[in-house]
Structure 1
Amino acid sequence: MILHPQLKQDCFILGQFDLCLLLLINDSQYPWFILVPQRENISEIHHLPPHEQQQLIIESSLLATAIEQAFQADKINIAALGNMVPQLHIHHIARYKNDIAWPKPVWGVHPTIAYRDDEHDIVIQHIKAHLPTLKEVKK
């Protein structure tokens, strides 16, 4: 599967599940993760075969649970927009009542603030500690 150039530019690759690649958005304002089903030319969840739709929900729930445990968010926003990036990808964002965009959606409210130095490694290790089934990305 070829990752969309915008996702490649904006994210760190953390690993993979059976169906999806797991990414971290390079925005230090929120713990913001993305699942990307590893299938070519898919832009909508209903384009996946039924068994892969189910697998996507399983992986999304695993990620949401890990976010809840790792970051104690007040709310987890889960969304598949695709307005700018047509490749199917599902956002999972830990939200807090005191975050910079609350209660609005994060899109377009404030410019992104990239992680400094190796700050992203802390977030990555934190989420990976709650995702024992996450595998290394096959090269």
Structure 2
Amino acid sequence: MAFVLDPRLEADSLAAADMGLCHVRVMADARYPWLIAVPRIAGAVELFDLPLRDSQQVWDEVQALARLVGRQPGIMKVNIGALGNIVRQLHIHIVGRHQHDPAWPGPVWGHSPAQAYEPGGAEALIHQVQALARRQQEKQ
């Protein structure tokens, strides 16, 4: 069985880069620097579904992405979560938060409708993710 991205994840986000194991996307909500990391492992639903080696690589990639999100202007806290209640395919949310964001201090999931990026508005974050992916690949 080959890896196929869930259509809901594809519809709600923009492709950014492929890291060693994760496909990385920017959520289509301009209010937050919000990434999702989707391990390219067919059938994975839970983190504990992954072999230990893959689990460690996913965590290393998520940590690198979280550091990137945490460096975005104004970010006070980075939320990381793998919920999967609506989309079962394993994916990890990495969301930059600050005390003036619309959902603060509660969760962003289901808080309010997404606010679309202006044309080209997500490009800076996408380019940062692409640069990170290149640096990660050069280390290997």
Unaligned runs of 5+ in 2: none
TM score, norm. by length of structure 1: 0.90
Q: Map of 1:27-42 to 2, 5 A cutoff? A: 27-42=29-44
In the alignment, structure 1 residue 59 sits paired with structure 2 residue 61: yes
Which of structure 1's runs of 4+ aligned residues deviate more than 2 A? 69-72, 125-135
In the alignment, structure 1 residue 98 sits paired with structure 2 residue 108: no
Query: What residue is the counterpart of 1:9 in the other structure?
Result: 11
Unaligned runs of 5+ in 1: none
Q: Deviations over 1:56-98 (max 9, x none)?
A: 1111111111112234510000000000101000000000111
Q: Deviations over 1:84-114 (max 9, x none)?
A: 1010000000001111110010012111111
Q: Return closer, same or farther for 1:130/1:97 CA change in 2, 3 Å cut-off.
A: farther
Alignment RMSD, CA only?
1.6
Q: Which amino acid aligns with 2:4?
A: I
Q: Which amino acid aligns with 2:25?
A: L
The answer (yes or no) to whether the contact 1:74–1:97 under 8 Å persists in 2 is yes
| In structure 2, C-alpha distance between the alignment counterparts of 1:88 and 1:108, rounded to whole Å | 18
The answer (yes or no) to whether the contact 2:33–2:72 under 8 Å persists in 1 is no
Taking every aligned residue pair, what percent have the same amino acid on both sides?
Answer: 36
Q: 2:58 is paired with a residue of what secondary structure?
A: helix
Query: What residue is the counterpart of 2:80 in the other structure?
Result: 78
When the two structures are aligned, how many residues end up with a matched partner? Answer: 135
Q: Which amino acid aligns with 1:81?
A: L
The answer (yes or no) to whether the contact 2:6–2:87 under 8 Å persists in 1 is yes
The answer (yes or no) to whether the contact 1:10–1:26 under 8 Å persists in 2 is yes
TM score, norm. by length of structure 2: 0.89
How much has 1:51 moved relative to structure 2? 0.4
